[in-house]
Chains A and B, each alone.
Chain A
Amino acid sequence: MSDETAQLQKRLYRGESAAFISLYDLLGERIFRYLVAQSGSAVDAADIVQETFVAFVKFHRKLGKAKNLTGYAFAIARNEMIRFKKKQSRMPDLDPEVAEAIPVIDASELTFESNDWIQSVLNRLDEIDQEIVRLKVFAELNFDEVAMVTKLNPNNVATRYRRAILKLESLLDTENIEPAK
């Protein structure tokens, strides 16, 4: 663990407001990227990022004492995403008249159009492998951190990752899916 991370963890433990800004600078973008890839919606991902940081404040002492800050932070983000999805599935469908009255937000700027080809090939993998690839590539976590988030053995994660990459490679070759330029 670097000195900088250790210092940040001390500040998080004390609950300093500025420490959360540093944490956002350190992990915000990666968490957002992972959540967009996992949830498939940038609008939802932005909401989940907010909930994740609220959870960081709630568990700031545990975050300050965590052996691996990044892994712990992503585990919280993953839990918040699961909670968000559960909450969404419990919500009743809107009355069509009410739905019509709500202004439509133009989310075109928030979507990852260039990621469509990645999503289409990733969706061919099984759910755990998809998540491992997203955590490893989109969130740039190492195998130990991915293992911490997915609660799997690091060796198992590495094996699954390599197998998934091989499968992706063969999919790109055989099905002629064009990566974004």
Chain B
Amino acid sequence: MTKQDRTIEELILKSVKSSASAIPDDLQSSVMKRVESQLRYTTWVDDCKLLGSRLAILVVVLVVTFASLSYQSNQLNQLTNSKASARMKAGNLKAGNWFRPARYDPVTRSAMQK
């Protein structure tokens, strides 16, 4: 920076500094009031975000649990249906004995006639 640059810079700066008292006295207090209120709001928003993220995790856990239970129930249902159809083929399924276990031949492991 040249001497000339410094001179004009100093000249401007001197003039600016001489009017520095024009800053409103109550500016700091009004700024701090706004800051305090914004801080309270930011804290509240942060708390809400934390609560929201925890709720989201809980919802995900519940959905996964429900989906898993639903899948297992479906699998069990299919197994029950296939057993029932096997018993039907074997002719041992009559009205009222849907939930009675099929009787199997202990040697051949095939369904036995009633």
- Point out residues on A near B: beta carbons under 8 Å: 15, 17, 20-21, 24, 28-29, 32-33, 36-37, 42, 46, 49-50, 53-54, 56-58, 60, 109-115, 117-118, 133, 136-138, 140, 162, 165-166, 168-169, 172, 179-180
Contact = CB atoms under 8 A, between A and B. Distances in A.
Interface of B: 1-2, 4-5, 7-9, 11-13, 15-16, 18-20, 22-24, 27-28, 30-32, 34-36, 38-39, 42-43
B16 A137 contact: yes
A115 B15 contact: yes
Nearest to A108: B22
A136 B6 CA distance: 12
A58 B41 CA distance: 10
B23 A113 contact: no
A159 to B, nearest CB: 12
Nearest to A172: B8
Contact of B35 (A20, A36, A169): A20
Contacts of A162: 1-2, 5
Contact of A115 (B2, B19, B32, B34): B19
